[in-house]
Amino acid sequence: MKLPFFPPAAPAAAAATFPSPTRLPAGPLLAIDWNETSVSLLHVLSTAGPMEFGARLHLPWPEELKLPLHAAQAGTWLKTELRRHGLPLLPAVVCAPRRRGLLKLLEIPPAAPELLADLVRSQAEHRSGAEVGSVRIDFLPLPLPPPPAHGSATAATTAVDENPLRPVLAVVLSNVIVQQIRSVLEGAGITPLAMGIGELALPCLADNDERLVLDILANTAKVELTLSRRGYPLASQSLSSENLERDAPTWLATAERIRQALPASMASAAIDEVRIWGPRGAEAAERLRTTATIGVSVIPTAHENDLRSIAYLTSMRSAPLLLDFLHPRQAADPAVVRRQRIRRGALWAAASLAPLGVWFGMEQADLDSRLARLREEVRDRRQYVERGQDLVAASTFVDDWEAARPDWGQELGTLLPLLPRGETGYLTRLQLEQREGESPSIQVSGLARSADEIAGLNTRLVRDHSRYELQPRAIEPNPLDPEYEVRFQTDLTVRPPAAAATEEPSPDRAAGGAP
């Protein structure tokens, strides 16, 4: 099988191409395979024509720099290691960890190119449950399935018309990992050019056609199953590969379940070929051939440990196959589209209405400029308001809490002179309490010589200090102490100052309680 490691891959035809701004530079660069426990760097000497590779460096992250990384320290450490091993600080193409990427195969209605990105983004955010702005989303418009072999051109057109939805593979990657990788590399003096997922680019390393192909990347600890057609990935799943004798026979069944989960228009075709890549490819193929009923081929490569990076580099030669989270596909600016249409109309009318066309163009440019300034001003003011909302909410909460909290020292200074003391009685319990949403309360319990002392206490509390709302309880005899014959308990609710000033005390309520 021909492997386009070195000759540039021909761009695959798609239902609708959506060019990416990223291009593979011809000069030297670094290909980085980023993992959470280690990082691998491959010195790419040239990508113009056949790719040429130099030194390779594999670095486990130091224990103190395990993820989540401290970007500044990790960047300094990485720069030191590169210099120590003689690798230059060059712009880099990065493969993000596969397990951090979430794949969503969507079917969307036909849309103009300037609307496609927003349509895919909204569906992908909804399907992934991610917050708006918390993820990076790039996508591949997939080719339509081939028409039935027995159908004519008219029948094929009819079949497509019956299913107007178009397949799109959206890949979601957290902004956290993107920013983390970017910060570490920039701290090391390395400029990231592009960032993608190498496993999804693996089909770019082989010839592809209309058949449904299963690519298996067999690494030391795991395997990655990728279904593709015409070089476009359709679905992918990671599996354990610690025990090939036990695990390999289950791979085809897993791939079949993945195929059946595809939309009906794609799941109708069976898997035609299995291609196995990676350091354990030969061993995996031997195990797989014992159960496979389709062709299984091992793809020999010279850089088995860097297949992810090389595959992603190869995908950069074909814009329709490229996923780049640093430069994801974006919707065309409506203002730009509008200006282009206006300019075309102005050119058409220029032959007869040149002065009017010139005036209209100047007026439109002025309006666009004013609109851009207004939008920028609105965005800046909105950001300013949003930055202050948390502070306002916190300040309001503290003010409300301070206003509702009583001064217990002052309350005790007012209450204690009114309570029994000396030989008339004494307190056994004094409880101060304020529950959320309720007025402060004071519970007084004690012993007195007679019920008259308690009635007098209640009268003083209400008549002389109308701040309290009295809720006396029954006065009970105290058989334990002959000198203090009664036991009492009184609940006081502290009124707000306004209520205490306006409400007149009730003598009947003050006397409350009966022996």
Which of 129 and 162 is assigned the larger pLDDT?
129
Is the fold of 207-298 the same as that of 408-511? no
Give domain limits for the chain.
1-157+171-199+303-332, 207-298, 334-404, 408-511
* Among the listed residues 202, 271, 278, the one whose alpha carbon sits nearest the alpha carbon of residue 241: 278
User: What span, in angstroms and rounded, lies between the C-alpha atoms of 417 and 429?
Assistant: 16
Q: Among residues of the chain, what percentage have pLDDT more than 90?
A: 24
Q: Is the domain defined by 207-298 classed in CATH 3.30.420.40?
A: yes
Query: How much is the pLDDT for 472?
Result: 75
Q: Is the model more confident about 216 or about 18?
A: 216
Q: Tell me: cis bond preceding 233? Omega within 30 of 0 counts.
A: no
| pLDDT, average across residues 105-128 | 82
For residue 497, how many C-alpha atoms fall within 13 Å in the half-sphere facing its CB? Answer: 6
pLDDT in tens, 142-191: 887 666 555 544 444 444 445 578 889 999 999 999 999 999 999 999 99
**31-63, pLDDT tens digit by residue?**
999 988 899 999 999 888 888 899 999 999 888
pLDDT category at 6 given cuts 50, 70, 90 is very low
Q: What is the DSSP letter of 238?
A: E
The arrangement of secondary structure in 1-157+171-199+303-332, i.e. its CATH architecture, is: 2-Layer Sandwich (3.30)
For 427-451, how does the pLDDT look when each residue is reduced to its tens digit (9 = 90+)?
888 888 877 767 788 888 888 888 8
**Region 284-291: what's the mean pLDDT?**
85
SS3 of 33, please? Answer: strand
Q: Which tens digits make up the pLDDT trace of 307-329?
A: 999 999 999 888 788 899 999 88
Mean pLDDT estimate for the chain: 80
Provide mean pLDDT across the span 381-404: 79
CA pair distance 418, 411, nearest whole angstrom: 12
Name which CATH class applies to 408-511.
alpha beta
Angle formed at CA 266 by CA 17 and CA 145, multiple of 5 degrees? 45
Residue that wins the pLDDT comparison between 334 and 452: 452
Which residues, 6 or more positions from 153, have their beta carbon under 8 angstroms from its beta carbon?
none
Residue 503 has, within 13 A of its CA and on its CB side, a CA count of 16
Cβ–Cβ under 8 Å, residues 6 and 51: yes
Range with top average pLDDT, 92-101, 238-247, 277-286:
92-101
Strands 222-229 and 295-298: unpaired
Q: Which residue has the higher pLDDT, 349 or 291?
A: 291
DSSP 9: P
Integer angstrom CA distances of residue 28 from 219, 253, 321: 27, 42, 22
The more confidently predicted of residues 351 and 286 is 286
CB proximity list for 410: less than 8 A, separation 6 or greater: none
State yes or no: pLDDT of 495 exceeds 60: yes
